[in-house]
Amino acid sequence: MKKLLVLSLTLAVTVLLTHLQAQGGGGGRGGGAPAVGGQTDNGGVRYINPGSPTVPDNMVTSQPIPRLPDGHVDLTGPWVGGGSNGDIERDGGLKPGELPLLPWAKELRDKRLSKDEPYTACLPMSVPRVNPYPWKFAFTYTSKGLSHIYVLHETGDAGAHRVVYMDGRKHPDGLIPSWWGHSIGRWEGDSLIIDTVGYNDKFWFDSRGTPHTEQLHTVEKWTRLNYGRIQNDFTLDDPGAFSKTVQLKFTGRLLRPDLKTGGGDLMEFICLEDNEYGAAAGIQGVGSGTSNK
């Protein structure tokens, strides 16, 4: 029975990677898709690069910026990138050592190992984390107009999704700290502003281990620069872990919509905590158990 289970998991992972390689024919930023392969650090998997085929640089302005029926810019996507992953300092456009961590937070980051990060155990990655796989904004309308925006990730957090309230409500008092916090959004011209509070302190900003506290308050300004690119101007305020407010900038790339393999759709991905989903494929250091030895 155990051999049958391992064989089934191996086949599932093989099919997933084969499909991602097929998607990768259009190629990364400019046309050549990187090979599928894991990048490791201290024995743990940092990420698996599927070669997500985004609109290449020479086509980012090939079409006008689309708009929704209500006149707002269409930010739907799917996008690749637009947040932190390996190192929020580097990914956000800062120089080494420029992230103003308080001494305790820097010491904690330096002690952490990527193989221990909660995200590799299928827990939520939260804000502003992304991975090398596609994600999208999903807009929900009622008779009164736009009410909610959902942020959906292809390989995100065992099916969890982020909710952004667009109905004019305020942050409630007495929030219970949570993985995604409480997000309220508004339009500022053609940019979407998302204000979030009420985070817990359990997730990492990146696989490097950059921490935060429950005092974290983030503001995202999402602007579609052109047909193929979206920009996230990210404000990070956490006096418990940072000596001052931090301004970061991330760029997302549109997934190519012309793929016969369903490039505009998000694939299903199920990840249960400690399920060791990578062990059957020979990927070492995934999860916290020992079944991959």
In a domain, 32, yes or no: no
In a domain, 43, yes or no: no
Q: Rounded to an integer, what distance in angstroms lies between the CA atom of residue 213 and that of residue 223?
A: 28
Report the amino acid identity of residue 191.
S
Number of domains in the chain: 1
The predicted model gives 104-113 an average pLDDT of: 97
Residue 40, CA atoms < 13 Å, CB-side half-sphere: 9
In a domain, 27, yes or no: no
CA distances 14 to 31, 173, 281, Å, are 24, 47, 7
Tell me: pLDDT of 43 over 60: no
In a domain, 64, yes or no: yes
For residue 42, what pLDDT is reported? 44
Give the pLDDT confidence of 253-269 residue by residue, as tens digits. 999 887 655 556 788 77
Specify the residue for token string 């190629």.
27
Tell me: pLDDT of 79 over 50: yes
Chain mean position to CA 208: 15
For residue 48, what pLDDT is reported? 47
CB distance 253 to 133 below 8 Å:
no
Return phi, psi of residue 137, to 5°. -90, 135
The predicted model gives 47-63 an average pLDDT of: 78
The predicted model gives 113-131 an average pLDDT of: 89
For residue 155, what pLDDT is reported? 76
Domain, as residue range, for 68: 54-275
Confidence class of residue 123 from pLDDT cuts 50, 70 and 90? confident
For residue 257, what pLDDT is reported? 81
For residue 101, what pLDDT is reported? 98
For residue 275, what pLDDT is reported? 55
Mean pLDDT for the chain overall: 80
CA distances 57 to 53, 80, 93, 259, 266, Å, are 12, 14, 19, 17, 22
Per the DSSP assignment, residues forming a β-bridge with 186 are: 193
Which of 152, 136, 125 minimizes the C-alpha distance to 76?
136
In a domain, 10, yes or no: no
Which of 201, 72, 44 minimizes the C-alpha distance to 124?
201
CB distance 152 to 163 below 8 Å:
no
Confidence class of residue 99 from pLDDT cuts 50, 70 and 90? very high
Helix (H, G, I), strand (E, B) or coil at 135: strand
Tell me: pLDDT of 6 over 80: no
Q: Rounded to an integer, what distance in angstroms lies between the CA atom of residue 39 and that of residue 41?
A: 7
In a domain, 21, yes or no: no
CA angle 85, 163, 160 (to 5 degrees): 60
CB distance 240 to 215 below 8 Å:
yes
> In this structure, which long-range contacts are made by residues 288-293, counting pairs with CB atoms below 8 Å and at least 24 apart in sequence?
288/116, 288/121
Contacts of 93 (CB under 8 A, 6+ apart): 248, 249, 250
Q: Is the pTM of this model over 0.75?
A: yes
Helix (H, G, I), strand (E, B) or coil at 279: helix
Q: Rounded to an integer, what distance in angstroms lies between the CA atom of residue 290 and that of residue 120?
A: 14
**DSSP conformation class of 221:** E
Which of 203, 254, 222 minimizes the C-alpha distance to 88?
203
In a domain, 181, yes or no: yes
For residue 172, what pLDDT is reported? 97
In a domain, 19, yes or no: no
Tokens representing 175?
Answer: 């929030």
Give the pLDDT confidence of 157-216 residue by residue, as tens digits. 655 789 999 999 999 999 999 999 999 999 999 999 999 999 999 999 999 999 999 999
> What's the per-residue H, E or C state across 8-35?
HHHHHHHHHHHHHHHHHHHCCCCCCCCC
